[in-house]
Structure 1
Amino acid sequence: MGFIIPITEFGNYLLYSILVGHVALQFVPNENKPKVSIPKPMLLLFTLGIIILSLGPIAQTVSYFQGGVGFFLTVQSVILDFQVGRAWIFIGLLATCLYLTILLNGSKYIQAILLLLMILAVGYSSHVASLSFWAGLWSHSTHFLIVTLWTGILINVGWFSKEDLNWSKFLRWFTPFAVICLIIIILSGIYLMLFIVEPKDYVKAWVLPYGQMLLLKHISIIPVLAFAFINGVLTKKAMKNLSFNPRPWIKGESLILLFVFYFTAVMGTLSPPHEVEFTVKSEGASKWVEWLLGKDILTTLQTHLATSFQSVLLIILSILFLFLILFSFKQKRLLPAVFFGIGFIAVLYFGLMLSLV
């Protein structure tokens, strides 16, 4: 169960992104975007997939409580009484309506409204909404909407576009749009994080599984920014060469974004450490972190960052990888750029973790 639930959450993020991007691009004039074509059966399958994959959090909740009153009573209680269950019912109804709307070639406005309501249901079922309902609902929904909007458009034009026309016009409006999305994502992300981890406990939280995923998520955003710089700035200059094809580099950015999705998905299945010190004492630190640091972690009162030769070397190497992403673009080599992006995540992660004492 611990392995399956993050996969379902990851799949959910991906399907929402594709559908949101698909609907959003319908509002963009044809002359300002590459031609994007997703077969209708695939769109219908994605819609049904959301209904199925949204069962993941319900399955996780049921697994926590079924020992007390039995499986069927637990399922009934979770679906009818828990926010995550009520949200799934709402998402299921809306997704069914979206399925029919797509099947019957319905209005793009109806599709957009249905998706917005589904995203609100995701916000309703979020952990933050259970702590502070209205603040959590709107902040999580906004964060999720903007992430799926930005990522979804990238996935649609990167993986489902059929022509090399209108790329310059597309990048002309998408670049400032992506910058605005990024600003909103960062601000809303920080706001959401403050519900879970206090700034003074951010580094200390790294000794916990949740903190590990939070760190990896934040690290993985950096190579995304490098690819965004490539696609938003460098690609415009490269487009002067008529033989240049920007699609592979948009694919590269979307691939790195999948790492952000996965770390977020895993993080969503872990217990948020509202009190890091209490969580360490009651549940224990991550076994992986204890093995990596070579010691038992019984308290975080003295936990802090301190440089060492190994950590500094790894951090410098990670910065080198970041520049190599840009160098790979100059060499027009996508695969090395993606590998350098993944390498950056891994190397900077170990560099920071080995700084933890």
Structure 2
Amino acid sequence: MDIVVMVSQVLLYVCFSVLLGSFLLLLVPSNNRPEVIIRKRMLFISAITLPIFAFIPVLDIIVLIAPRLGLFESIKIVLTTYSVGNAWNFTLFGSAILVFLIVIARSNEKRIFAFLGMILTVGLILTIAWSSHAGSINPTTGIISHFVHLTAVSLWVGILFVVGWCAINYNNWIEFLSWFSQVAFGCLVATGLSGLLLTDVLVEGYTDAWMVSYGQGLLIKHLFLLPLVFYAFINGFIVKYKLSNDATFNPIPWVRVESLILFVIFMITAVFSQQSPPHGNYLTSDAVSPIFRLFHNGMIDSSSTIGFVINLDTVIFFILSILLMGLMALSFYKKASIIVSFLFSCLVVTSIYFMVMMATVVQ
């Protein structure tokens, strides 16, 4: 069931991204973006499956308590008394309105339709933030930070997804970059600040949390921000310079690479968000992450903390990380395929992760 929940959360985030990105691009004048084909069917599928994916964590709780209370009683209790169930009720209601809006929308009312759709989608993100781990620990800071975090990332990813995979040309690309760079920077800042608040709510001791699965996921997610910022810089500045000097340069593959890295971050978030956050007296021998055990197989208990040392392995992986970063930059210069560029990005993250793990010691 855990795998089903993780997959559902990835798809839920994709639905939010497709909806937010599509609605925003419909609001942007056609001379300020490339020509994109946003099919009504794509929006309809995203809207109608959104409450289904959002229901999977609710179903997980129902299945957990059903053996004691019975199926129908469990459904009733979860949907009427649990915050995750109450939040899903609003998700279902909001999604139904959004589906209805998509069905009745007319081609000559795109701007009104897009504006209302964007408001509804943001409202649906709020219902997900309401049912989050952070919201259950700290209803005010947790819900607000999760809402801002998911909204900013979904908007950023959504624009990249739609432009990267639905654009039929790269006309008006410089005009597109002039406003998207500002939006992406704003999303990056909002994501960073809200991420810090979320970490403060959910994690007691950032580095010590690496010993459990939630902390491992958080570390890997943050490491993927390095290639993300790299490609964001390329798409925001280097591509603009290249297009100014070479009108035949195709920028779309690099947008796709950036969107793939963001999708990986989505997947990592979906995986570790289903783990219990390291809050309170969480560290026991059984709670230690199997991945962390590969590097540190000694005694770990509630008094254990993480320190850092520099050794030969750390230096080797540091040098390897620098070389891989150079190859990642070279792949752009040589116009390599997006698979090659994406592979180098993953190798950079893997090398830095090994460097960090080799540098840690349990005290």
**Distance of 1:148 and 1:310 partners within structure 2:** 38
Matched residue, 2:173: 167
Task: Give yes or no for contact 1:226–1:325 (8 Å, CA) kept in 2.
Answer: no
Deviations 1:315-357 (A, max 9, x none): 3322332232222111111332111111112221122112221
**1:78 match:** 78
Deviation at 1:300, TM superposition (A): 4.9
TM-score, structure 2 as length reference? 0.93
Q: How far apart are 1:104 and its partner, in Å?
A: 1.3
**Aligned length, in residue pairs:** 353
Instruction: Give the counterpart of 1:312 among 311, 315, 327.
Output: 315
Measured on the aligned residues, the alpha-carbon RMSD in Å equals 1.6
User: Is the 1:17–1:149 Cα contact (8 Å) retained in structure 2?
Assistant: yes
Structure 1 contact 226–322 (Cα < 8 Å) conserved? no
| Structure 1: 4+ residue segments shifted above 3 A | none
Q: Per the alignment, in what secondary structure is the counterpart of residue 281 of structure 1? A: coil
Superposed, 1:133-172 pairs within 5 Å as 133-172=139-178
Percent identical pairs in the alignment equals: 33
2:120: which partner in 1? 114
Amino acid at match of 2:133: H
Q: Give, in angstroms, the shift of residue 60 of structure 1.
A: 2.5
CA contact (8 A) 1:147 1:181 kept: yes
- Report the AA paired with residue 235 of structure 1: V
Residues 38-47 or 61-70, more deviating: 61-70
Matched, 1:262 2:267: yes
Letter in 2 for 1:297: I
The match for 2:109 is: none
Q: Could you say which residue in structure 1 is the equivalent of 2:58?
A: 58
**Separation in 1, partners of 2:258, 2:187:** 15
Deviation at 1:209, TM superposition (A): 0.5
Question: Counterpart of 1:50 in structure 2: which amino acid?
Answer: L
Answer yes or no: is the 8 Å Cα contact 2:309–2:360 preserved in 1. Answer: yes
CA distance in 2, matches of 1:8, 1:61: 15
Instruction: Decide which of 298, 301, 306 is 2:304's aligned counterpart.
Output: 301
Deviations 1:76-135 (A, max 9, x none): 211221111111111111111111111111622221221121111111111222222222
Unaligned 5+ runs, structure 2? 107-112
CA contact (8 A) 1:224 1:257 kept: yes
Q: Partner residue of 1:190? A: 196
Higher mean C-alpha deviation, range 83-92 or range 126-135: 126-135
Match of 1:218 among 195, 210, 222: 222
For 1:138 and 1:324, the matched residues in 2 are separated by 39
Following superposition, the deviation at residue 296 of structure 1 comes to 4.0
Question: Is the partner of 2:284 in helix, strand or coil?
Answer: helix
Q: Which residue of 1 aligns with 2:327?
A: 324
Offset at 1:165? 0.8
Conservation of the 8 A alpha-carbon contact between 1:230 and 1:326? no
One-letter amino acid matched to 2:220: L
Partners in 2 of 1:123 and 1:53 — Cα distance? 15
- Structure 2 partner of 1:242: 247
TM-score (norm 1): 0.94
Distance apart, 1:282 and its partner CA: 7.1
What code does the residue aligned with 2:218 have? L
Rounded Cα–Cα distance in structure 2 between residues aligned with 1:158 and 1:13: 17
Per-residue CA distance 1:275-323 (angstroms, 9 max, x = gap):
3xx3122743123322332334234534312222112211332233223
* Secondary structure, counterpart of 1:338 in structure 2: helix
- What runs of 5+ residues in structure 1 fail to find an aligned partner? none
Amino acid paired to 1:59: L
- Does 2:279 correspond to 1:274? yes
Provide the secondary structure at the position in 2 that maps to 1:304. strand
1:151·1:254 contact (CA, 8 Å) conserved in 2? yes
CA contact (8 A) 1:208 1:280 kept: yes
> Structure 1's 33 and 96: CA in aligned 2 closer, same or farther, altered over 3 A?
same
**Residues 137 and 202, structure 2, Cα contact 8 Å, conserved in 1:** no
Establish whether residue 354 from structure 1 lines up as the match of residue 362 from structure 2: no
1: CA distance between counterparts of 2:292 and 2:14?
29
